[in-house]
Structure 1
């Protein structure tokens, strides 16, 4: 006669196979759960790009102390009085020809040589051989650093001088104004214009900020001063 207690103490081979399948299934489920956890913990990296030449104007969240009034640096032409009229110089002597040298004697052509009257037209370019720059940014050994320093100062001046219109700030209205201007052959800002408008009040605020840029060293092309065109987006941001 078979004792039932003995059967419980000693499981049959079929019972052992079932227990083995259960243990293997538990290990597979645990492996899937661990793999899913590792997949969900992937770290993500963020990349933020920006324009090389862009000014952002952000109004303060809460006014603390009233900001000191901004002094606009207006670019005005220098006015030189006419020199006093003196006695008329004596006329140049008639040119004489030296038969031995074969040259005209009696005329002084100055430093320009024969035949160069000095008349030339000022070019307008997007990129000059030597870009306009501030004297404190001058770098003979590295023109790229000189240009980056100058453009960085331009951006900081615009950001410091641009005033966010209060009525638009209260209405949470912002936008980007695209400006274009020339640095002329004398280093002054001229021909300011709005390429793309965001709002009439924002356009005016951006144009007014250009008055804070002082005179620069003019750009040159082949040793001659040229006008250089700049395009700058001015971003008015509400945070």
Structure 2
């Protein structure tokens, strides 16, 4: 009897809760007013009720958890002991300390006393005894020798047949017009060096080599003449003109012999590379 009353009162409750049409199209076609179709028709009401209920429960849980200790105290479920609050107090009182004691610095060590040295008087060297000087007669005296100067020696060497100009130690020895080795104290050096021009024919053909040029330097440091002394390889004559032109256009410091500038030969190696 109770179930029949519940089924009979269900349509009235559904009509009160619903906000739209009381039936769906399928209800009218099938003539069914309960079961799954009724649940589908009122699903939005059930969803709203569930959301509201969940929100209320969540709010209650949040309030209770945040005030749990108060609820326990009100209900008398606690053990009666209250948690002591710890307070930290910062002590700002400064204690003035006395000044530190003075530290005595150690005295520097005394320098050792050096005994006074006796100053000895300088020794006077007596000249050696060479005996008595006897006066010699003019007829018995040996003939006086006169040394030739550098210019006189150079003039004599140039006038000798078959001998060339005086040359530097770097030049190769020779006979005739070639350079002759004559030692000097200071060899000539470059004052302004001219870079040799690479021959265009050799550049195109990829030819490389080295040329040894002897140049005669005057007393003023100007080149007088030059000649090829050696080639590497020996048949590479393509660099002769460029090498001679470079050494003749350069300027040099003169050679020094006995503190005076002299004319001297200087041998220079000139390398031609395409690197």
* TM-score normalised by structure 2 residue count: 0.32
Which structure: larger Rg?
2
* TM-score normalised by structure 1 residue count: 0.36
| Larger RCO (alpha carbons 8 Å, 6+ apart) | 1
